[in-house]
């Protein structure tokens, strides 16, 4: 395990090191992250989503584009991600803007999902009121009949978002609450690395 108090100059490399450690130590869903959005007038909301991809462009997740979070992102493209790994005493805060992934990226990821999850993307009217669970189960059965095999197209309203980071903060639990906080801020010349008091 790398020394958590010695930062690299690349926040994506730093993230990769910490994610590798989390995969080894977290009992379930080490890729879980809080995604915080806000309405146009600044009302925030948060939920836990699974990270599905990361590279030097940003952090990707997939969802229904007619969901509450998608509506908020359409009005306010600023987003905040938070990873927290209790077993490691670590968290990462990421702030940035979102962009849509390409149709090709969304198609490729959708094809990897379990069949029932692909049918669920058609059956679920995400974030809308549901009178009773039986309604969802009935809709799922309808789509199971409509798409009986593995050839299930991606719904036109189902896609992904990529967060384009503008800043990172890596927080490491330390004795006596003298925690280590490393920051990265994107600038014209690249990333500037800094430290914050605990």
Mean pLDDT per 10-residue section of the chain, whose length is 198 residues: 68 97 93 96 95 96 95 96 96 98 97 97 93 96 95 97 98 96 96 96
Q: Does some domain include residue 162?
A: yes
Q: Does some domain include residue 3?
A: no
**Residue 192 has what pLDDT?**
96
Per the structure, the complete domain to which residue 21 belongs is given by: 11-113+158-196
Alpha-carbon distance of 96 to 54, in angstroms, equals 14
Catalytic annotation present for 177: yes
**Residue 129 has what pLDDT?**
92
pTM over 0.85: yes
Backbone angles phi, psi at 22, to 5 degrees: -65, -40
Q: Does some domain include residue 23?
A: yes
Into how many domains does the chain fold? 1
Q: Does some domain include residue 146?
A: no
**Residue 85 has what pLDDT?**
96
Q: Does some domain include residue 147?
A: no
CATH no. for residue 21?
Answer: 2.30.110.10
**Residue 2 has what pLDDT?**
52
Task: Indicate which residue of 47, 68, 177, 181 is catalytic.
Answer: 177
Nearest to 152 by CA among 124, 126, 117, 103: 117
Backbone angles phi, psi at 74, to 5 degrees: -65, -30
Q: Which residues, 6+ apart, have CB-to-CB distance to 144 below 8 Å?
A: 119
Q: Does some domain include residue 77?
A: yes
């Amino acid at each position: 395990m790398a020394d958590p108090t010695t930062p690299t100059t690349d926040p994506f490399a730093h993230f990769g090191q910490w994610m590798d450690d989390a995969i080894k130590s977290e009992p379930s869903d080490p890729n879980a992250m809080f995604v915080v959005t806000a309405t146009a007038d600044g009302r925030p909301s948060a939920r836990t989503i699974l990270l599905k991809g990361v590279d030097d462009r940003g952090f990707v997740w997939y969802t229904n584009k007619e969901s509450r979070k998608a509506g908020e992102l359409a009005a306010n493209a600023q987003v905040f991600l938070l990873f927290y790994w209790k077993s490691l005493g670590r968290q990462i805060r990421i702030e940035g803007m979102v962009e849509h992934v390409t149709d090709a990226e969304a198609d490729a990821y959708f094809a990897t999902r379990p069949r029932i999850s692909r049918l669920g993307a058609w059956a679920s009217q995400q974030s809308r009121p549901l009178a009773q669970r039986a309604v969802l189960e009935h809709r799922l059965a309808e789509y199971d009949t409509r798409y009986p095999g593995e050839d299930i197209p991606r719904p036109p309203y189902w896609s992904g978002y990529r967060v384009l980071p503008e800043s990172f903060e890596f927080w490491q639990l330390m004795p006596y609450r003298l925690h280590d906080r490393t920051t990265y801020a994107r600038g014209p010349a690249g990333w500037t690395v800094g430290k914050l008091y605990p």
